[in-house]
Chain A
Amino acid sequence: MRFLFKTGYAQDLRLFKHGGQVFWYGLLMVLLLAAPYAIGEYLTSQLQFICIYSIVGLGLMLLVGFTGQISLGHAAFLAIGAYTEALMQARGVPFFVSLPCAALLSAAMGWVLGLPALRLKGIYLAIATLAFNVIVEEILARWESLTNGNSGLNLKPIELFGMKLDGDAGFYYLCLGLAMLSILAVLNLLRSPTGRAFVAIRDSEISASCMGVNLANYKTMSFALSAALAGIAGALYAHKVTFISPEQFTLLQSIELVTIVILGGVGFVHGAVLGAAFLIVLPQLISLAKDYLPADVAGTGLQSVVFGLVLIVIIIFEPLGLYGRWLKLRTWFELFPFYRRGMFRRQKSYMKSERLR
């Protein structure tokens, strides 16, 4: 068991709380950097997906986990990022210009969506974002002069400072770097007054506004930041799959993105990454398992059943998500043999009505 003796307020704000964290995160970083040379092409490409989904997951975590707003429309932001990137690349704009543009345009749309969100809450907000998703998808499919409709757009490999990132390793490092930057950005944001304001809004809007938090500003800002991260991820996603069409950005995709947050653990930055990794790994495991199952079961429905069951089981038995499970495990080892089952139990909660606000 490690005891942290705090002797100054600055210690509370440190990114790394103690030397152990520096060591383990450093080790993880080294492993991730060495990965493309050690694990082969296929797994590297899966790691790229994990990085990309982590970025969206972070965006959603900021919105859902830390600001307490619901969005079932993040696939739309992903789409906006992806299409911006594809269209700008087709017109010869270099990557280091088009990526910020994708993020900015996405953020602008997020800001716009955030405006009605000021008046909406809970399920009405979910429906409004859902409607936004459907509308964006339909616009992408119908605005054929720009987006080429349902036949989609093709992308070329990224060229960055004269280098062509068409190999797996190059693109992987780009994804990894951007994912790391996003994580750092989110962590820094969360220890700034802005991040504290987000958390205050999540916990109670009334008390937040009593403390002088401008709800309107911070809610729209949260939407915009979250959308910007989704836009960056969308641009990377477009390059990863090299072909984008509206049906990749449906409502189902949005729901999958939200499950990243739920599976990983609502309210933990780690959760976004864990959830993303889980979402990528699960289909692989299922396709491995298919060989051992009877033909009737191993159809197209298997993935959806397993996915649904995992979601249900995690929510019922581990409301804190994968990261919560890890926290419990770690605490168990740290405190052995003094761990109690109730340590993470929440206070007994009654149904909180959302009709009153």
Chain B
Amino acid sequence: MLQLLLAGVAQGCVYALVALGFVLIYKATETVNFAQGDLMMLGGFFALTASVMLGWPYWATILFAVAAMAAVGMLIERVVLRPVLGQPAFTVVMITIGVGYVLRGVVTMIPGWGTDTYTFPTPFADGTFKFGEVIFAEQQVAVIVMTAALVAVLYVFFRYSKLGVAMQATSQNQLAAAYMGIPVRRVNMMIWGLSAGVAAFAGILLAPATFVHSNMGFIGLKAFPAAVVGGFGSVPGAIVGGLIIGLVEAFAGRYMPEGFKDIAAYVVVLAVLMIKPSGIFGETARKKV
């Protein structure tokens, strides 16, 4: 039981991180970034390059991958998304789908990456330790600890740094933020960078479990339910949603018939949407005519 709980939380943390990327972008720009999973995949490949091909230590790998992905994220926002600013949300969603296609294809063309599957080495050995009755896999504990650390860092960033506050303002009301002298476009670009960085982090945490390959981004589709369950516009919602989906999957895999594990997340999301159409932590604002 506790064992399942641990596995579920560890998996949920990864979902939560990807969902966090969705939510950051959605909150600021009302764009659902369908390429989030592919950004994660790209982050995984950057990390792979740094650690395996260049032989860098783990922490440097993380820094490199996150920084590189932040740059890629900002580039994507500047080149692709800014021209369609203000168009209907669905159009913009289609553009991010296009970005996803391009990223997935480009990765297979780069020499040394290609279509193969790679293992990603981590300093956390496959060792386990026992605490009471529960066996902790070091890998899982590392994922949980690092997610918690990242969430804490993000919290501090949003709460106390000037840029973080500006980002919050932008996501609440772009027009008002612009009036207050916040360069909304530049902030949007930074949010894309931040979100891509978070995606890279998620990719690194996920890599030991799923290996690195050009289609690992499809796990992003699992993070959708996470973001929706929590409410798309809510940062704590993303974390909670991710954990819920991770736990539901872990328990469904154990107690439900085979095959249910893969769709459990989607069943949950349908159920949540039926009861609360804007997610658990979603805002329910009404349009005034």
Contact = CB atoms under 8 A, between A and B. Distances in A.
A124 B273 CA distance: 8
Given A305-B106, A354-B89, A124 B101 contact: no
B259 A307 contact: no
A154 to B, nearest CB: 23
A307 B273 contact: no
Interface in B81-118: 83-91, 93-95, 97-109, 111, 114-115
B50 interface: no
Interface residues of B, number: 60
Given A124-B273, A135-B263, A312-B80, A354 B30 contact: yes
B259 A355 contact: no
B94 A127 contact: no
B278 interface: yes
B102 A355 contact: no
A355 B115 CA distance: 40
A128 B270 CA distance: 6
Interface in A272-316: 296-297, 299-312, 315-316
Query: Looking at chain B's contact residues, is the secondary structure mostly helix, strand, loop, or mixed?
Result: helix
Q: Among A266, A301, A357, which residue has the most Cβ atoms of chain B within 10 A?
A: A301
A119 interface: yes
Given A308-B101, A311-B98, A119 B80 contact: no
Given A126-B32, A308-B100, A312-B99, 15 more contacts: A70-B90, A123-B32, A128-B273, A131-B269, A135-B267, A206-B289, A251-B221, A255-B97, A304-B102, A308-B105, A312-B95, A315-B95, A351-B174, A355-B30, A355-B285
22 contacts: A122-B89, A122-B90, A123-B93, A123-B232, A124-B232, A126-B32, A127-B269, A131-B267, A132-B270, A135-B267, A299-B114, A300-B108, A301-B105, A307-B105, A308-B105, A311-B101, A315-B98, A349-B87, A350-B86, A356-B287, A357-B285, A357-B287
Closest 10 CB pairs of A and B: A308-B101, A301-B108, A305-B105, A311-B98, A304-B105, A301-B105, A308-B102, A131-B266, A356-B287, A312-B98
